[in-house]
Amino acid sequence: MTIEFDHLDLAVADLASAVREFRASGYLLVKRDLGPLRGGTAGIACAGNSRIVLSGPGTVAASALRVVSRTLGNDFTGIRRAVFRVKDLSRYVDRLEEAGIGVSKSGKTITPDDPALPVLTQASAKSGPATTISVTRLTLVSPDLDRTLTGLDAIFGEPDVDGRWRIGLTTLTAERGSVVSIRARLNAARIPAFAAGLGLSIPSDDVDHEAAERLGEALRIATVSHDELTKRAEAPFHRLGAYLEEQFPRVHRELDWSTFGPSRLYCWKGESEHVGAILLAHQDVVPVDNADLWSHPPFSGVVDDEFVWGRGAIDDKSRVLAILEAIEDLLRRGFHPKTTIYFAFGHDEEVGGHEGAQVMAQYLATQNVSADFVLDEGGIVSVGMVDGISPPVASIMLGEKGFATLRLDATDPGGHSSMPPERTAVGRIAQAIARIQDNPLPLRVTPPVLDMVRRMGPHMPGPVRAVLASAERFPKPIAKLLSLKPHTAALVRTTFAPTVIRGGVKENVLPQSAEAFINVRILAGDTIDSVVEHCIKVVDDERVRIGVTSGFAADPSPSTDPNSPLFDMISEVVQETVPAALITSGLVPGATDSRHYSAVAQARFNFTPILLDRADLERIHGTDERISLANYKRIIDFNVRLLQRL
């Protein structure tokens, strides 16, 4: 069968603006047809009589794509379909239907009912101007990967031994993800800044192979933090430390550094003794639940042509290595900072940071260190996660919620299940959980969230923009609006997540005991004590004991003023690193090492300049954690730019 790549449908929010930016980046634009209301289409010429079709939201094509967009739950921008040319359309219809893939036909085009699969057209190739730009790699992301692979086999035949299809200049692959999407690699010198958030990339986006391999090797060292003390091992951390000393010789020769157990503290003395910043990252990673589900073994550190794979690739070894890469590079160039800078790499962040970050922070306090700010993980550049906003959104977090795990337990005499009491121990625990979930703490808009809303408001669709413009005067409606979705509801309320419940030994024996654990993320204005008091009140059962577990717990952190010059400075560095990003603030819903440094820093920020969508977020602490070569380069570049300003 003969098949060729024809074009990509790339939906953009504003076609006229997209055309201008692609032209400015050196692309040949053909067949431009700007319609009303920012609609219309325009083609970008590619090699092999192929193209990228830009579609504005007012076009018929875009309207069809909007249906797909709504199905995926994403904002209406990005690559929505790949289209391939074939000579005999009927043969492909038969093959797809034999494989159980339904198709719809319109003229000389067929569309499989799996939205991750390419569209096929029998239209003749459209000759265009000579250009060397081509789509060299297409990655199809599918929630139903097995079905998508079946469809790809039907269209393209068996893949090569590496699981990829090579169609002319284009290599095609597929992977599993929670939503359908497409990524495309162009062999071009530039792309417009906004295009990275739509799924386009170019080779120069990627970090160099040597840096990627250094990260991969670090991921091969299983520095796992376990809750159980008996499972914790320091040997892997010492191996990682020795590896860092070997790979970053200038850092370890020219900076002052010391260890606190496996944790590592570095001091880069500046022209002034004034401490400009403390940059944090952590060496430890969470355990892996089921390694068999991973595409690559979780501690193999595989480096391919797009990603570095492994536990810790995002959380948080990439930041440890990226900071060291940035320092090593600046030392190589003879750079010397104006202020003194500390770098603290903890070894137990995932279990509370008490032996790492807390100890290093206490040491800095004894040295009378008072930094302008501390910077840690927590905020990202989200893609397609803010309804109504097309550009990537960089969230520089100003503080974090508190954290605690509540234990509920009840006991009973037990007995035979044929003569049960009104409520068994299991029943009382179940009822207590239900009462806590049915009686949440009040919604509340805190200053960081109010600032986030203020910054995002002007970029939202008209009706929402009008509501958000009045956020300061009407905080309750804003809180109600944010509470409608789980990922924003966490910003306006203390959350209760029952995670474990157990009790009983046999189906016909009354349980003598039952217990449950509820993970609580505490919004500023509440405290651990007030949360426990609230739960005791709403459960209203003296036979159910409620308390905080002996593990990690912390009240909400103080929040930094978003109107400070420091926020503006970090925002500028973010925009230099990710030019298309909108800047906002917010709160970290989880817990980070930065909370330990409140006494030695005047302000705190949580941010990493990596572009992630919802599917990417699921990989953190989950299956197939990985970081793209482009994202890793962004972290290094961000740290280089930041250090040059300090």
**Beta-sheet strands, E only, within 467-593:** 495-503, 509-510, 513-522, 545-548, 582-584
Residue 378: left (phi > 0), alpha (psi -120 to 50), or beta? Answer: left
Helix axes 145-156, 89-98, angle to 10 degrees: 140
Name the helix (H) or strand (E) containing 82: strand 78-86
Angle (CA) 231 234 239, round 5°: 130
Helix axes 235-247, 317-332, angle to 10 degrees: 20
Length of the chain counted residue by residue: 646
Name the helix (H) or strand (E) containing 80: strand 78-86
- What does each C-alpha distance from 535 to 339, 443, 517 come to in angstroms? 48, 16, 13
Q: Which of 518, 581, 526 is nearest to 549 (CA)?
A: 518
Q: Is 431 helix (H, G, I), strand (E, B) or coil?
A: helix
DSSP 108-131: TEEEESSTTSPEEE-PPP------
The answer to whether residues 280 and 356 touch, using CB atoms and an 8 Å cutoff, is no
Q: Which of 184, 123, 112 is nearest to 154 (CA)?
A: 112
**Which residues are known catalytic residues?**
284, 349
d(CA 84, CA 170): 11
The answer to whether residues 520 and 495 touch, using CB atoms and an 8 Å cutoff, is yes
Both structure tokens of 120: 């096929």
d(CA 488, CA 402): 16
Task: Provide the 10 A C-beta neighbour count for residue 442.
Answer: 12
d(CA 51, CA 128): 9
Both structure tokens of 220: 């091969």
- In the block, which residue shows the tokens 């986030």? 452
- What does each C-alpha distance from 199 to 13, 96, 371, 418, 634 come to in angstroms? 14, 27, 38, 61, 16
Distance separating the N- and C-terminal Cα atoms of the chain: 60
Cis check for the bond before 451: say yes or no (omega within 30 of 0). Answer: no
- Give the distance from CA 527 to its chain's centroid: 28
The answer to whether residues 551 and 536 touch, using CB atoms and an 8 Å cutoff, is no
Q: Which of 274, 266, 234, 286 is nearest to 360 (CA)?
A: 266
Burial 300-339 (b: 16+ CB within 10 A, else e): ebbbeebbbbbbbbbbbbbbbbbbbbbbbbbbeeeeebeb
